[in-house]
A = this chain, B = another copy of it.
């Protein structure tokens, strides 16, 4: 008998990252990385932690949306199995009144993701396994049962998903061993924030190569002359064999993207990420078709229906899942299966606060049990705020080490939660007193 969830705590946690321009990009010049954070507790002392990531203002709204989900969790048995987690996912995303708030998008959907990921943390912890392994030990039938195929069957049926998973089953043990021994390839965005000056960019790019990364990423999109200059400097700093991805953070219209990428292409960028609106499937397809740089998107992809269309339209070379925007593990499993069906590599978005910790599990599960491949696959890595987690990511020689601790790796330290609570935590109280908040 599963213990009952007796507590559902919601916290508005914010880090004043805008002070250093960490995370600055063409659309988001001053982010304060934040988490609308939820903790589930059971009668037997097990916990599950989850969160939606935001960049400051509005984190309180997301926390309110999480609060609205309390009745679906408290006083009920803690989820433990694939069936439990599938039922929770359906209840949270298909409530006949709440779904009007999306459907399946925006604040309400991110809130569902936070609670679902907390339930996965709880279930994997109960099983004594890290989430990637908890997933990778499920049968193909259990994995398929996690997915809501509504609105997907024109692209992927349950039978097709089952066939994909069965085909990958024989290699699971070998890939698990390789993953434990070698880790999963990473790339770093730390050099490329738009608010950093040229000297800092070059220094950090050189450092990234010295640290073993085979790929870095630069933010672009505010000013094309600046973008060309910065890319040229970075290319000179890292040499011809290190990949340089670009990220426009939605800044361009389709014609602007085609123009800018023509100017940037001579410096051999690896991909262009979010060249335009994240909702614009046809725009991404036009950009991919109209210039030579590969196209990546997904961190703001609202739900599996958007990813389905990006794949159907041939709009992307790389699918960038985010662990905390869609409805948690369950919906990301659907997206991994869609990407595998279409043969497109998944290169997760991370960074922010805690996103690296979460998404590594999904990429590793993809490798072991879905795509079965590391080719053309890298997980984003940003060296920010890991110290606030009890089981932070370990990145060595440009690779993520496979987590070994049970759970989802994204539990924030109690002292970090207490210090950064908004607006009452000491970090924010101090800023208020000094006139900075």
- Identity of the chain B residue whose Cβ is nearest the Cβ of A53 in the assembled complex: B100
Task: Return chain B residues, CB-CB under 8 Å to A277.
Answer: 103, 150-151, 305
A427 at the B interface (CB under 8 A): no
Task: Return chain B residues, CB-CB under 8 Å to A305.
Answer: 277, 279-280, 283
Interface size class on chain A is: 35 or more
Task: Return chain B residues, CB-CB under 8 Å to A30.
Answer: 96-97
A279, B281: Cα distance in complex, Å: 10
A254 at the B interface (CB under 8 A): yes
A196, B342: Cα distance in complex, Å: 43
Please pick, from B27, B106, B152, the residue contacting A106 in the complex, using a CB distance under 8 A.
B106
Contact assessment for A153 and B253 in the assembled complex, using a CB-CB cutoff below 8 Å: yes
A102 at the B interface (CB under 8 A): yes
Q: How many copies does the complex hold?
A: 2
- Identity of the chain B residue whose Cβ is nearest the Cβ of A25 in the assembled complex: B96
Contact assessment for B106 and A105 in the assembled complex, using a CB-CB cutoff below 8 Å: yes
A176 at the B interface (CB under 8 A): no
A125 at the B interface (CB under 8 A): no
Among A27, A102, A300, the one with the most B-chain Cβ atoms within 10 Å of its Cβ is A102
Contact assessment for B62 and A58 in the assembled complex, using a CB-CB cutoff below 8 Å: no
- Identity of the chain B residue whose Cβ is nearest the Cβ of A108 in the assembled complex: B107
Contact assessment for B55 and A100 in the assembled complex, using a CB-CB cutoff below 8 Å: yes
A109 at the B interface (CB under 8 A): yes
Please pick, from B55, B96, B101, B282, the residue contacting A61 in the complex, using a CB distance under 8 A.
B101
A302 at the B interface (CB under 8 A): yes
Contact assessment for A98 and B57 in the assembled complex, using a CB-CB cutoff below 8 Å: yes
Please pick, from B106, B151, B254, the residue contacting A276 in the complex, using a CB distance under 8 A.
B151
Contact assessment for A281 and B283 in the assembled complex, using a CB-CB cutoff below 8 Å: no
Contact assessment for B313 and A103 in the assembled complex, using a CB-CB cutoff below 8 Å: no
